[in-house]
Amino acid sequence: MTVGRFAPSPSGRIHLGNILCCLLAWLSARQKGGNIVLRIEDLDSARCPRRYADQMIEDLLWLGLDWDHGPKVSGPDEPYFQSQRTGIYQAALDQLEALELVYPCFCTRAELHAASAPHREDGQAVYAGTCRQLTPAQQAERARLRPPALRLRVTDREFPFIDGHMGYYVENLERDCGDFLLRRSDGKFAYQLAVVVDDAAMGVTEVVRGADLLSSTPRQLYLYQLLGLTPPTFFHFPLLLSPDGRRLSKRDADAGLDSLRGQVTAEALLGRLAQLAGFHPSGAPSTAEGLLEEFSWEKVPREDIRLPARLFA
């Protein structure tokens, strides 16, 4: 059975990009008769206070995008808030430590920057491996000064996969990424580890998310392999850009539900988003259910979608 998911990070009010993500995840899974899990990705608890999550849940209900397991409806894999799942991530970390692939990293932000490793296309630096070779004595000495982050050793290997929408994608983790974080120095688990552990634990079979996360997928595939878990199918969709061509963020008030909910109905919003995403030419108001027949991944563009200056006439 297909299991899709919504995995929003409640660091502010959801914007059109988050809504499109949930709509596509919903349609893709429901079209196959599948279930949806809602998981709140609030690992960074300082940036994701509970009231934002509550608002997000309420916004999804207003939109009519329902889920089968998650907050409000319960389910077999509780809790559905990442901030409450630390024990599960620790168990996965222990498993990776037993493989001797984890090491402490003492680099400060400034040091990471100064190591000036080449930058990837998405602007992230490739970790230079500064702390990879520290001896146990050096590690102990540095640990007295600051708590370390934990990194996973990667290998000189290609991680190719076929994205359900974007097609073939490959990265060599050593060349294109470097050893990556599993836990931050403040003790918070990193997104890459948590998302893999949770999608597997919750039986997710398809992941639908923005193309900004395409380059995270090889890292996640590596983790699936090391942890002996089966990866889902991935569908990455193009990003929504603001009318002036920037990436949409939670700070774009016009695209946030704060202002939109007062102006339009949920059906008008879904109909317009479906039109922008290429599978609902009329743009007429519609429930999510009403879009099931028209939706297909082939109709969704692969290039970023720029929002018009006025969303509604």
Which residues of this protein are in contact with ligand GLU, per CB under 6 A? Answer: 7-9, 41, 195, 209, 213
Minimum CB distance to ligand GLU, residue 249 (Å): 11
Minimum CB distance to ligand GLU, residue 104 (Å): 26
Minimum CB distance to ligand GLU, residue 220 (Å): 8
For ligand GLU, the closer CB: 132 or 251:
251
Dist. CA 183–CA 105, nearest whole Å: 10
For ligand GLU, the closer CB: 107 or 277:
277
For ligand GLU, the closer CB: 93 or 197:
197
For ligand GLU, the closer CB: 214 or 307:
214
For ligand GLU, the closer CB: 9 or 28:
9
For ligand GLU, the closer CB: 131 or 202:
202
Q: Provide Rg for the chain, Cα atoms.
A: 20
Minimum CB distance to ligand GLU, residue 60 (Å): 13
CA 132 to chain CA centroid, nearest Å: 27
End-to-end Cα spacing for the chain: 41
Minimum CB distance to ligand GLU, residue 7 (Å): 4
For residue 303, give the nearest of 253, 239, 252, 209 by alpha carbon. 239
Dist. CA 298–CA 277, nearest whole Å: 11
Minimum CB distance to ligand GLU, residue 200 (Å): 13
Dist. CA 159–CA 140, nearest whole Å: 34
For ligand GLU, the closer CB: 41 or 171:
41
For ligand GLU, the closer CB: 15 or 151:
15
Minimum CB distance to ligand GLU, residue 66 (Å): 18
Minimum CB distance to ligand GLU, residue 224 (Å): 13
